[in-house]
Amino acid sequence: MKKITLNYWGIILLIFIASFSRLVPHIPNFTPVGAIALFGGAYFKDKSYAFLIPIFSLFVSDLIINNLFLNNFSQEFTLIYPGFYWQYFSFILIILIGIFGLNKFNFNKLLICIIGSSLVFFIITNFGVWFSGTMYSKNIIGLVSCYIIAIPFYKATLLGFLIYSFLLFGIAELFKSTRLANYNR
C-alpha cells in the first residue's frame, strides 16, 4: 500500500483550509484562528514556519474579510485594522503555547492548552479594547466592565478553539496513527 506523507504541505493545507472557514457565516468569535496558531506551534518542526504560516493565513483572511465583506460599500482598501496588534500578539503567544506545551501530543495536554490559549486571547484582546478604545473609562472599573461584558463572546471563542483544535489535531493524529501515513514531525 502506498504511504501518504503529512508533511509541511499537509500542515499548511490544513491551516489554510481552516483559516478560510472564517469566510463562512458564523457566530461572532467562533473562528479557527486560535486553533491554527496552536496547531502550527505544535506541528511545524521549523519554528519559523510555526509563526509565519499561521500569521500569514490570518493576515490573508483578514484582508479578504476587511475588504470584501466589511468594506463592501466603501472603496477604501484596508491593509490592517485598528487594534490588530492585540490579536496578532495573542496569536504569537498561542503559537508559543503550541511549541512548548504540545511538544508531545496527548489529549489532556491539548485540552489544557486549548483552554489556556482561549483565555490568553480573551485577556489580551479585551485588554486591548479597554486600553485602546473609548467605550470604557480608563480605570479598574472600566477594565472590569470590559471583561464582564465580553464574557458572552468568550463562550463562542472557547467553542471555536475546542472544535477547530480537535479537528486539526484529530486529522493530523489520525494520519500519524494509521498505516496510511508516514508523518515526520
**Nine cell digits for residue 37:** 496558531
Binned at pLDDT 50, 70 and 90, residue 183 comes out as very low
Question: pLDDT at residue 4 above 50?
Answer: no
Record the pTM.
0.85
Residue 38 CA to residue 33 CA, distance in Å, equals: 9
Strand partners, 4: 181
pLDDT tens, 68-125? 776 655 678 888 888 899 999 999 999 999 999 998 878 999 999 999 999 999 999 9
Residue partners of 39: CB distance under 8 A and separation at least 6: 11, 14, 15, 18, 54, 98, 165, 168, 169, 172
Amino acid at 115: I
Quick check: helix, strand or coil at residue 12? helix
